[in-house]
Structure 1
């Protein structure tokens, strides 16, 4: 009996780990270039899907840069929010932002002149059950899905398998 219970615990742990991997992606802003002047963040966003539950990671030199979450008007004008808040500015040099709600999100560097030089990022966060993104045209050599796309595609299968395992295990006891 104890071995059945151990099996159930192991299977459930695997399901939890796989489903959390399948449903969340860590987006490193600017990839290897990070958060700095000279990176085209509009191009960086293209082809990426941001979902509730994902995270944004801003890597940068915190003696030179920071990250402010702003609204759309502040973003367009490269204007800082009127007052500092608990989450503005972010200035650790390795800031991780959980994407908790759908909608547009705007970020800028608050160092004078940096936003005007392109240190600004806008993303659109979708609900996990939201509309599927329109696929971008790909070159024949780039047909293999990215690991995050493969995990997201497998998420329904993982959840279905978890349901079936639960049903089977329920009938054992």
Structure 2
């Protein structure tokens, strides 16, 4: 009986952890474009990105693409050697490390027109150092599955993280407390 309860509670904890990840459509209803005059800097500043979140770039592939680039390339809109390029029009990128992640449209003039995005993934675990090496997996082929390519943090300061407890973390703590109570009650 105790083993079943522990398995169920462990599954609940795993489900809570998975439910923490969010999916963000870049540009919201406008998507990834130059036509709607989307302020991608403003768009990103209204979101709090975490490791495991996914950003979805939706666009017309006849007119746009998505390039993941370094900070220097982002600043100068240099599309000569991107980390990865996406061209499907429905590209998902999972954020797998903290720090800044830089993207822009590689079509000439689009980056200069503002079709560029700097996402800052906040450090979730305060015990980790900012110098922790990122986990990398390069997938630059447009025919491959959505990329989880990562780049190191660029050393650019981002917004201060909120230290408020999130609901999934509180729920995880409650589950742990319940498991502890169950073991104490079943031990007698």
Superposition TM-score, scaled by structure 1 size: 0.75
Higher relative contact order (CA 8 A, sep 6+): 1
Counterpart residue number, 1:13: 11
- Partners of 1:63 and 1:133 lie apart in 2 by 40
Tell me by how many angstroms 1:101 deviates: 1.0
Counterpart residue number, 1:132: 161
- What stretches of structure 1 of length at least 5 have no aligned partner? 135-148
For the residue of structure 2 that corresponds to 1:89, the secondary structure is strand
Q: Which moved more, 1:108-117 or 1:123-132?
A: 123-132
Counterpart residue number, 1:159: 172
Tell me by how many angstroms 1:156 deviates: 2.4
Contact 1:19–1:158, Cα closer than 8 Å, also in 2: no
Contact 1:70–1:81, Cα closer than 8 Å, also in 2: no
Q: Deviations over 1:59-118 (max 9, x none)?
A: 111121111011111111111142x66xx2111211111111111111010111111111
For the residue of structure 2 that corresponds to 1:27, the secondary structure is strand
- Partners of 1:17 and 1:72 lie apart in 2 by 35
Q: Deviations over 1:22-71 (max 9, x none)?
A: x3221211111111112110111122111122111111111211110111
- Partners of 2:182 and 2:29 lie apart in 1 by 45
> Which of 24, 29, 33 is 2:26 aligned to?
29
The alignment's C-alpha RMSD in Å is 2.4
Q: Which has the higher helix share?
A: 1
> Which of 81, 86, 95 is 1:99 aligned to?
95
- What stretches of structure 2 of length at least 5 have no aligned partner? 127-159
Give the number of aligned pairs.
151
- Partners of 1:11 and 1:39 lie apart in 2 by 44
CA gap 1:100/1:81 in 2 versus in 1, 3 angstroms: farther
